[in-house]
Amino acid sequence: MANPLSDYLRSFLTVGLFAALAVVLFFLLVGISALLRPDRHQEQKYIAYESGADPIGSMWSQSQVRYYIFALLFVMFDVEAVFIFPWATQLEWFGTFGLIEMFVFIGILLLGLVYAWRKGVLKWA
Amino acid sequence: MTGVLSAIELAYWQQTTIRLLAGLVAVLLLTGGVVYLYLFKFVSFMQSRLGPMEAGPYGSLQLLAEVGKWIQKEDISTKDADKFIFGLAPAVVLVSTFLMFVVIPAGPNAVMADLGTGIYYVLAISSLSVIGILMAGWASANKYALMGALRAGGQLIAYELPLVLGVLGVVIQAGSLNLQDIVYAQSNGEIFGISAIGNPYILTQFVAFAIFMIAVQAELTQTPFDMPIAESELVAGYQVEYSGIRFLVYFIAEFATAVGFAAIASTLFLGGWALPASWGFSDTAMHVIGPINVSIKAVFLVGVVFWVRFTFPRFREDQLQRLAWKGLIPLALANIVVTAILKVVF
């Protein structure tokens, strides 16, 4: 019988199966623990921890994300990495042409980083 | 022996079952061994104490005793917590950690799935754990947890880039993303025509190796990069409301990730399971030597991570971001450019 799946898809099936195995392991551990552990209700146990004092205000608090701008920079550089990976595997074949092409690409991105740097974005707000 | 073995044709499901179970056992054994060796004993000796001595000879069964203890602990979450997300977050972290091991080769055939995208897949899957951490921090409904999770998010994002860009140097040299190909490229390589030790990329890519190990230290949130779980400011960050078995899962995931990244670093930079091709070991011998070889290298690199962890004081949050954005990322880009030039010229 011919393979219903190609080797390529099969290797990803293996990945999926291992993920399933990890999930099973997690629920196995939690299940065993559920059989063994005690369950004694006390109101005080369910108060959020704030260094031993009674918590102040709502627990669904907000916090200032001081480095959200880094997330934007991250997206920029991560997309760059996606483009560089295929280039890196084929560099031998591209030769000098590919090299110069990529210098232009990395150069433009570096300009972006330098601009952000000069603008003071990389400083702690 | 080889004749007999190669005569046996296993069906896909048989092969896969064996590989997955062997992989699971290897991950758990290595993780447990690393915890005992470094967290219990290595740090104790560094601090002039003995560490656990009661359970088993030299306290070697201490970890089993700890697991037994954690399993019996009550599973508590706070009143306001989002119980579903809170309970699920450790599973996300655990799955992301385990999936890293799928592509790490331990011998000519000993790899769970030989993906063509190898190292790229590892980098993608390992960064999924940040989702689990943000889930945990948000669902805990605790101020410390939320702050810890946000710090973790910022840190893992910042150090993801040096990690990826550092790896690119190796990819350029090997010309492949597949980890098995990278291992063979090192084993068959030569430096200036000398092939006595192959070409382990730590020699030609030492800048990338240094960047990779620093970024791994930060991805693992180990000291000096442990602001997300800083016990003196945030108690334990996103883990603060976790108890019992779910905390144990975080603990397993943390050390399994350390083993995983160390195994990847030893595959990329130290030659992986292979010995230099010029030493003339047959494939049959490598089936046995390979797993031992890569395990020793990985455990050694975890030792380096823990050595740093127990030696250095903690950075401040802004120092951490500065090191990544103004130090490591430009350095990694320069490394790519230099590697590419040398690759084309030679």
Instruction: Write the DSSP assignment of B46-97 as a string of letters.
Output: HTTS----SSSGGGTTHHHHHHHHHHTS-----TTS-HHHHHHHHHHHHHHH
On whether any CB of chain A is under 8 Å from the CB of B141, the answer is yes
Shortest Cα distance from B154 to chain A (angstroms)? 7
Q: What is the ipTM of this complex?
A: 0.81
The pTM score is 0.86
On whether any CB of chain B is under 8 Å from the CB of A79, the answer is no
User: With contact defined as beta carbons under 8 Å apart, do A62 and A55 qualify?
Assistant: no
Q: Cα separation of B200 and B147, whole Å? A: 41
Task: Provide the β-strand partners of residue B194.
Answer: B191
On whether any CB of chain B is under 8 Å from the CB of A108, the answer is no
User: Which DSSP state fits B323?
Assistant: I
SS3 label, residue B194: strand
Record: contact A99-B75, CB cut-off 8 A = no
Partners of residue B152 in chain A, C-beta under 8 Å: none
The partner residue sitting opposite B249, judged by closest CB among A26, A40, A70, is A26
Nearest alpha-carbon partner for B107 in B299, B294, B296, B301: B294
Nearest residue of B to residue A93 by CA position? B344
- Per-residue pLDDT 10s for chain B (346 aa) are 444 555 566 777 777 788 888 888 888 888 888 888 888 888 888 888 888 888 878 878 888 888 888 888 888 877 777 888 888 888 999 999 988 888 888 888 777 788 888 888 898 888 888 888 888 888 887 888 888 888 888 888 888 888 888 888 888 888 888 888 888 888 887 777 677 777 788 778 888 999 999 999 888 888 788 777 776 777 777 887 788 888 888 888 888 999 999 999 999 888 888 877 777 777 777 788 888 888 898 999 999 998 888 888 888 777 888 888 888 888 888 888 888 888 877 7
Task: Provide the β-strand partners of residue B191.
Answer: B194
Helix (H) or strand (E) holding B20: helix B12-34
Rounded to 5°, the CA angle A122-B216-B116 comes to 110
